[in-house]
Amino acid sequence: MELFPEPFRIKTVEPIKMISREEREAELKKAGYNLFLIDAEKIFVDLLTDSGTSAMSDKQWASIMVGDESYAGCRNFKNLEKTIRDIFGFKHLIPTHQGRAAENILFSLMVKPGDYVPNNTHFDTTRANVEANGGVAMDLVVDEAKDLTSQFPFKGNMDIKKLENFIREVGPDKIPLGMITITNNSIGGQPVSLDNIRQTAAVYRKYGILFFIDACRYAENSYFIKTREPGYENAKPIDIAREIFSMADGCTMSAKKDALVNIGGFLALNSDQLFEQFKQKLILVEGFPTYGGLAGRDLEAISTGLYEGLDEDYLKYRIAHTRYLADRLEEEGVPYVKPSGGHGIYVDAKAFLPHIPQEQFPGQALVAALYLEGGIRSVEIGSVMFAKYEANGKIIPPALELVRLAIPRRVYTLSHLDYVASVFGKVRQNMEQIKGLKFTYAPKALRHFTARFKPVEE
């Protein structure tokens, strides 16, 4: 892939510091080999997440200065409403402090016990919000998603046959709304094709089911459509986005992703009747309808960021930048999920560290090794996060042991990515010395955030 240099120059810098190997070793021990428990100041390159970690532009910082902090009717709400109508085409805007608050409002009013919500793949917070209201979150992604080496261009797609069979099986009256997530975060930031969104919308419409899009990375998805789907080569990302949302009844959005801000989100929709209900709930849990969960200045930075996130040069750079890390890892012989996604690279830890059995958490061992070798923070998506256990305590590991390298937007340069690849090279050279890990503390739910480990001794 041709390299496209950063279409911006740097005007403000934030120093980062590499502490010594001895200090990193001490930090790892202190944190029980869990990178969530290490202070950000002790990290050199932080690839924990792309959420809320974007660098804002000069224009966005200028937007912060024109925040109107009136309790009611601030001009920034009007402007964001206009932006949402322009890009997404939805009539009503519910501003929230982040994506999961939008999900909470949506599902708490629409889902009741015994209901089902289909999706290509639910993101963790989406699933949790469906389940918290007694619903069942059903994933119906295409089979290509499960093959790590398949180069299928739209691995994020919904399996249309499975979707229709599922609706017939449980009955449309048990499905208050249907969703699709673009890009499909949980399976590696893989895109969904416009044709697939169209077919998904048609199935929902056929059965009278409302269609909401989880839109967090809609701009990256629009660019993948432009470059991978025949017929869209000459379309502008913003026009692709307009076409996508014209097929839906509403969307949930975490502005911490493709709106290039550090906090924020929204729910947008067409129905007047639902809007009235959502608005009452918004007042109860977030704030008055014209600011919701945010300050006026945040609303303005989102408006500006939404357009910047759709800029064609920015998207060309963004996707090429992620792909650059994938290509460098390839050169270092690192196995990863193909093709590379929009917001990160997912390394196959089971294949990279074949000497560590799944019950000794090869993903977590690799996460720890990357920190020890180079001060890099990544996150395990494998047995620590998802393993289940038999009654006798025997582990039932998930199919994949992945390590995610999420790439913050407009934050790191190509030399940071070169550095990350070189650290992988060093880890690989000393691979046999990397030991598996075992728990010294593991909470019952969401254990990856607070669990502690120690190395398995021979």
Residue with smaller CB distance to ligand PLP, 183 or 360: 183
Q: Which residues from 112-131 bind ligand PLP, rule CB under 6 A?
A: 123, 125-126
| Contacts of ligand PLP in 161-200 (CB under 6 A) | 181, 185
State in angstroms the smallest separation of the CB of 350 from ligand PLP: 24
For residue 135 the two structure tokens come to 């619903």
Count Cα neighbours of 350 within 13 Å in the Cβ-side half-sphere.
Answer: 14
Of 188 and 265, the one with the shorter C-beta distance to ligand PLP is 265
Q: Which is nearer to ligand PLP, 156 or 296 (CB)?
A: 156
What does the per-residue mask of binding to ligand PLP show for 1-40, with x meaning CB under 6 A? ----------------------------------------
Q: Give the closest residue to 396 by CA, choosing from 405, 386, 406, 388.
A: 388
Query: Nearest to residue 46, comparing CAs of 8, 17, 6?
Result: 17
Which residues between 42 and 61 bind ligand PLP (CB under 6 A)? 51
Between CA 240 and CA 260 the distance in angstroms is 19
Task: Residue 416: count other Cβ atoms within 10 Å of its Cβ.
Answer: 17
Question: CB–CB of 347/322 below 8 Å?
Answer: no
Q: Are the CB atoms for 448 and 35 separated by under 8 Å?
A: no
Closest to ligand PLP by CB, 188 or 363: 188
Smallest separation (angstroms) from ligand PLP to the CB of 425:
30
Nearer to ligand PLP, 214 or 401 (CB): 214
DSSP state of 402: E
Partner residues linked to 441 by β-bridges: 452
Looking only at residues 342 through 381 of this chain, which bind ligand PLP when binding is defined by CB under 6 A?
A: none
| β-bridge partners, 250 | 212, 269
CB-wise, 213 or 427, nearer to ligand PLP? 213
Binder among 43, 80, 216, 294 for ligand PLP (CB under 6 A): 216
CB-closest chain residue to ligand PLP: 99
Q: How many CB atoms lie within 10 A of CB 12?
A: 8
Which CB atom, from 193 or from 360, has the smaller least distance to ligand PLP?
Answer: 193
Q: Supply the minimum distance, in Å, between the C-beta of residue 233 and ligand PLP.
A: 27
Residue 43, both tokens: 């990290």
Stretch of 67-75, 94-102, 233-241, 353-361 contacting ligand PLP, by CB under 6 A: 94-102
User: Which listed residue (100, 127, 377, 410) binds ligand PLP by CB under 6 A?
Assistant: 100
Give the whole-angstrom CA distance, residue 413 versus residue 44.
13
Contacts of 15 (CB under 8 A, 6+ apart): none
Residue with tokens 């006798």: 392
Q: How many residues bind ligand PLP (CB under 6 A)?
A: 15
Cis? peptide before 183, omega within 30° of 0: yes
How far apart CA 47 and CA 60 sit, in angstroms, is: 23
Whole-number Å distance between alpha carbons of 318 and 309: 10
Q: Which of 219/372 has CB closer to ligand PLP? A: 219
Q: Name the residue nearer to ligand PLP (CB basis): 265 or 436.
A: 265
CB 405 within 8 A of CB 352: no
Tokens standing for residue 55: 């660098």
Which string of x and - marks every residue 246-265 that binds ligand PLP (by CB under 6 A)?
--------x-xx-------x
User: How is residue 176 written in tokens?
Assistant: 């208050």
CB of residue 184 to ligand PLP, shortest distance in Å: 8
Q: Is residue 96 involved in binding ligand PLP (CB under 6 A)?
A: no
Question: Which window, 65-73, 93-101, 438-446, 450-458, contacts ligand PLP (CB under 6 A)?
Answer: 93-101
Contacts of 132 (CB under 8 A, 6+ apart): 107, 108
Q: Which of 53, 54, 83, 98 binds ligand PLP (CB under 6 A)?
A: 98
Q: Which residues pair with 403 in a beta bridge?
A: 347, 380
Closest contact distance (angstroms) between CB of 57 and ligand PLP is: 20
92 vs 257, beta carbon nearer ligand PLP: 257
Could you list the residues that contact ligand PLP (CB under 6 A)?
51, 98-100, 123, 125-126, 181, 185, 214, 216, 254, 256-257, 265
